[in-house]
Chain A
């Protein structure tokens, strides 16, 4: 069974940093593109970033470029999102998701972790 479990969310002040993690199991992690998608409270879904199997390709939504970094450790079956210079508008539930192929939408999602940016 595919499982994705996010962690690392919490309350952080504007301008602060946070690192999200996603532990993957039930599939060969190193064979799949992975993604982060977020959802602000009461709002719709927003794609954040994708990363290729070997980490050689990364893509970001414009609003997080230069502030967020997606990475992975295939030996640990883990996906990460380093978030710097956080803003109030980054407040959201962040979902880790698996992509069945390159340039496709996610097929499996984690349960999400809440990031709140507030003073």
Chain B
């Protein structure tokens, strides 16, 4: 199974900060990667698919980049509603595998 390693596991940031989360795959996965946001007690929400495509309705401050093994989710200006846990997911092959998550907390 492909292992997805996210970093950092958690971070503290202030409103207005630029935040970057990385995800590394144990083997090349082309651009078959998505990013999800999850708030406590809620279902995950799709932010980015195919590594860099913004899901409909998601604010443009979210962006994704990368291909092969290294991927990045960037929040250009952190908003209060963005404090949550973020997961990457590879859909290159089965079994689909998630990163362990990155918790974004208020500084």
Q: Using A44-B87, A105-B34 as known contacts, say yes or no to A111 and B43 having CB atoms under 8 A apart.
A: yes
Q: Is B44 an interface residue (CB 8 A)?
A: yes
Q: Is B95 an interface residue (CB 8 A)?
A: yes
Closest A residue to B50 by beta carbon equals A104
Bound Cα distance A105, B95 (Å)? 11
Q: Looking at B36, B43, B46, which has the most chain A CB atoms within 10 Å of its CB?
A: B43
Q: How many residues of B contact A (CB 8 A)?
A: 25
Bound Cα distance A61, B96 (Å)? 8
Bound Cα distance A110, B100 (Å)? 21
Q: Using A45-B44, A109-B44 as known contacts, say yes or no to A103 and B95 having CB atoms under 8 A apart.
A: no
CB–CB B101/A44 < 8 A: yes
Binary per-residue interface labels of chain A (89-119) against chain B in the complex, 1 for a CB within 8 Å, 0 otherwise = 0000001000010011111111110000000
CB–CB A103/B43 < 8 A: no
The interface of chain B, by Cβ under 8 A from chain A, is 1, 32, 34, 36, 38, 42-46, 49, 55, 87, 89, 91-101
